[in-house]
Structure 1
């Protein structure tokens, strides 16, 4: 059943406003800050940059920022480590590791960076029409009287073929936490994205996006997100992806507000590996908490072009192993506990039901969190 409310309309408008108002200010890395460079194949390199010289610290609000080395605590997992189903092949991992005291930053490709600003990553541009190009299949928390301090989920990773027609063109899946009203709102998004025009290849990449008051940044393309991990980094190519009817590889991510510092941490993997954090100073409307959490597939295409497949490209009615999934969905409450959202408090939305769909969202059999299937083969313009 599709439920639409004023809150849900606001969630969709969040994303449409984001893609229409994205900006990009790439920061160059000083050569003396590079400790080591690693060729990672597919024509790309990673620079291992001194932790204290990373470009993110050039943000004007972070000039006197003291780097937080680890979260002061993790949300309380009252259910224990729920892990993943044994039938799944395992989480996505990184084969890259920078020397201690340095962090990996994907070297930008000047050839496509100069022609594909951040707006194109998220689907904006001179001819961008949000009503005709963005397609979503999303589950969201409903109106919340209580603040939300983060969320955790696992979701399958695929590499749908998005084609090579006019940009923008991408297929992605994200967890998002947010607060405020457009145009003055704050948002964090974490997930994977297949975006040839932005990344220069047809592979899925680990991606983060954050926005505050209409200013938007992806990955480490502009100052703000403080990288901590020596291995996992925004922009990372995901080398192990799921196949329809075969192995199922997944991202396991957690975003939560640190109880002591107020920073928003990103945790990766079953081993609870800290990737880095967004300092609290970056957010006008999430300095205290979030009020909406969403989990969704999102695709885009230029106006008049067919939209690409979402997830596996197959509908949820094809079942597990064939349709893409989100599972073990939980949120962080005011007591810093990971709790399962109420089924009755969630809403669903699909912007083009004839092309994309959501399966029924349910609580997992072991009570470990909500889950749902999603996806579709794409739309062709009439």
Structure 2
């Protein structure tokens, strides 16, 4: 590295202690620029910051200076501050919501974010969770920090539509309910909040609602839910996340705001921040309500949290086919590990870490699942299929008989006597 380049690197480190120096003999400026983009304090003026009791630092950054606008397709993007319509006004959805709230008001409690105990961000700013030095230093590649590993492995693989056509994606195990075949423009679900074991730092466990479209080798997807992902967040807390990709995570997409793309509008939610309380086997269940929907006037894909908070959106410029509609909706869990599909299997758990149990309700679940297609009505889909990549490691159970509203139970411990 040239003397003036090293001097610049050290100057930046002194100005912003959370950014590690990353001297490299190959493309040093590219690495430095990547680190600079991921650390809002270097690019943007911070109006306020909050130190959370869980160790997070939340920077309040001007909504117009957020990382999304570093994306080449969004350089001249005009922010949409709110959806052009209220997606919750659908009478079918309102009725289901009212009925469910009456039945479960005492059992299912509101989930909050830990950082809000220490303050909030003012209007006109968005909260951005600061990426810590030790997390970046552990990353194998700064270029791929915050991204999932590429998802396809076999030439004859395809997106799951039926059990017979599904092929295990590289180093991933999923247990989910899916619907496919229509043009979907919204998906919703109430996801039980858990804190599953994650064995190694380069593994993760997530539970989410996802919309997908496109061929297996280049599919596009958006998803949101909770994650335990030490590789991205530096610990094993349960955190709220969003994720997107336009090419099966080959070169595009990321969690939260770790790359340009997602446009945040809410000053109440910090993506990647820890959530609480967590459900326990002998305690009350806690849920997050995630709703992903397309704005018909702008084609932006919005993420709504808890029936009322619009976190932000993915602009259609990020996608090709998904810019207008999705072909598949999935609800459930995903585990990533290089020890999947072969012994010794990872001990990283899915859901609560317990196999599906409708009777006791101690496993992971998704309830009040909804889609919206061209009928423009939020409803439970007419056709669904439940599937698990590894039934002996992570199972799935779909309950629709004797229930007014079908429910999905899923999860498992990973390695166990049936899954060596």
With the shorter chain as reference, the TM-score category is: 0.7 to 0.9
Matches within 5 A, 1:189-204: 189-204=223-238
Root-mean-square deviation (Å): 2.5
- For residues 134-189 of structure 1, give each alpha carbon's deviation from its aligned partner in whole angstroms, at most 9, with x where no partner exists: 211111003x1x310010110101112223x3x42222101100111133331101
- For residues 287-312 of structure 1, give each alpha carbon's deviation from its aligned partner in whole angstroms, at most 9, with x where no partner exists: 11111000111112333452312111
Alpha-carbon separation, structure 2, partners of 1:307 and 1:135: 12
Alpha-carbon separation, structure 2, partners of 1:300 and 1:32: 33
Matches within 5 A, 1:318-337: 319-337=359-377
2:303 to 261, 266, 277: 266
Alpha-carbon separation, structure 2, partners of 1:300 and 1:233: 24
Match of 1:209 in 2: 243
Match of 2:351 in 1: 311
Distance 1:186 1:162, change over 3 A: same
With 79-88 and 214-223 compared, the bigger mean Cα shift is at 79-88
- For residues 93-150 of structure 1, give each alpha carbon's deviation from its aligned partner in whole angstroms, at most 9, with x where no partner exists: 232520111000000012212322585766639xx997674211111003x1x31001
Aligned pair 1:77/2:90, yes or no?
yes
Distance 1:191 1:266, change over 3 A: same
Alpha-carbon separation, structure 1, partners of 2:392 and 2:219: 31
The alignment partner of 1:147 has SS state of: strand
Match of 1:230 in 2: 267
With 357-366 and 194-203 compared, the bigger mean Cα shift is at 357-366
Aligned pair 1:156/2:192, yes or no?
yes
User: Can you give the 5+ residue segments of structure 1 that lack an aligned partner in the other structure?
Assistant: 1-23
- For the Cα contact (< 8 Å) 1:123–1:169, is it kept in 2? no
Match of 1:373 in 2: 409
- For residues 172-223 of structure 1, give each alpha carbon's deviation from its aligned partner in whole angstroms, at most 9, with x where no partner exists: 1011001111333311010111122321122101011100134121110011
The alignment partner of 1:43 has SS state of: coil
Distance 1:185 1:93, change over 3 A: same
Match of 2:394 in 1: 356
Match of 1:178 in 2: 212
The alignment partner of 1:321 has SS state of: coil
User: Can you give the 5+ residue segments of structure 2 that lack an aligned partner in the other structure?
Assistant: 1-32, 155-167
Aligned pair 1:54/2:88, yes or no?
no
Match of 2:134 in 1: 111
Number of residue pairs matched by the alignment: 348
- For the Cα contact (< 8 Å) 1:120–1:168, is it kept in 2? no
- For the Cα contact (< 8 Å) 1:153–1:330, is it kept in 2? yes
- For the Cα contact (< 8 Å) 1:312–1:323, is it kept in 2? yes
More strand by share: 1
Larger radius of gyration: 2
Match of 1:282 in 2: 318
Distance 1:320 1:256, change over 3 A: farther
More helix by share: 2
